[in-house]
Structure 1
Amino acid sequence: MTTPGDGMPYAGGEKESLHASLDRHRDAVLWKLEGLDDEQLRRPMTPSGTNLLGLVKHLGSVEYGWFCTTFGREVEPLWFDPYTDEDMSVGPGETTAQIVDFYGRARAAADRVITELPLDALGKAPWRDHEVSLRWVLIHVIEDTVRHAGHMDIVRELIDGGTGAYRPPSGGS
């Protein structure tokens, strides 16, 4: 059972609930980009250079890394080094569409892993010295997505005053 508009299965199983939670926060990440121009999406809003588009690029890298690499699935060739700050910044030659599309492809690839594997499936990320379960990865990626969605909420408010965790039913910001 879900409440209209929020997609949460309030009486769903564990995997369904975790996946719905991840999707809900992924959608919030994309909503934070709506209605802004390219300069606003790239504008560094903290001393470290945090910007909305860079956070989306990072989250795409996270989804490919944790879901696909960990479980031996194909990852598209990356044009940046995900093990450095390159996945948190946007270069002058990178377009908004390129980054948003990259996030969409990473999300779709991760969804295939989530759909095809049981929660207790084990994988090993090359940067870890132990195996992790799909359950652990789902929780970890939800945590990372929520953390960065919160950053995006603050950055968006600093840019144009837009606030809120989720798109209101009326479609406003």
Structure 2
Amino acid sequence: MTWRDYHGVTLPYSTADGPHSTGGDLASGFARTPSGALLAAVHVAVRANAQWGPKVFEPTITKQVIGPDAPTLLAATRQLYDKRRGKLHDGAALGRAYVVLEGFRWQGYSPDTASLDLVSAGPGDSDMTVRAVTRIQLQWQNDDWRVIAPPGGTWGGAAASIASADGYIRFPNGGGRS
């Protein structure tokens, strides 16, 4: 596994498990393996975020997020982007992200479905590190992993604050940090 910068977030890549396509800031082509599901969860969840602008989050959510709350996720992400973009040209990214992927824990895996908790960390108030765990569920569909939209159509509905990443499988090199 190698790690590469994606606008401030260091993401994992595997020649065997994916993503095999990363054109246009999108990521697809994941193996039907536990590692492929993990990589899909990371890449799709990161890209389905207002931070990167509609050129990234719209096709990511439209093509790679499924389930009854997918339209709500797309609408909420558009609304958040419009609120945060200020005077940026429509479609521009909101800037770099300051988050590190620290680890994960499997909730379940089969060749057709997967569920995991993903731990991320970022800056908080007073130079404190803030950690969150986000539940991500996936389904194998049309020869690739698809993320099932979070409950209520917001990532906040699938996330909770945690004090540490203890008890989770740590990513090598602390999520790609050297």
Give the greater-gyration-radius structure (CA).
Answer: 1
TM-score > 0.5 by shorter chain: no
TM-score (norm 1): 0.28
Q: Between Structure 1 and Structure 2, which shows a larger proportion of strand residues? A: 2
Q: Between Structure 1 and Structure 2, which shows a larger proportion of helix residues? A: 1
TM-score (norm 2): 0.28
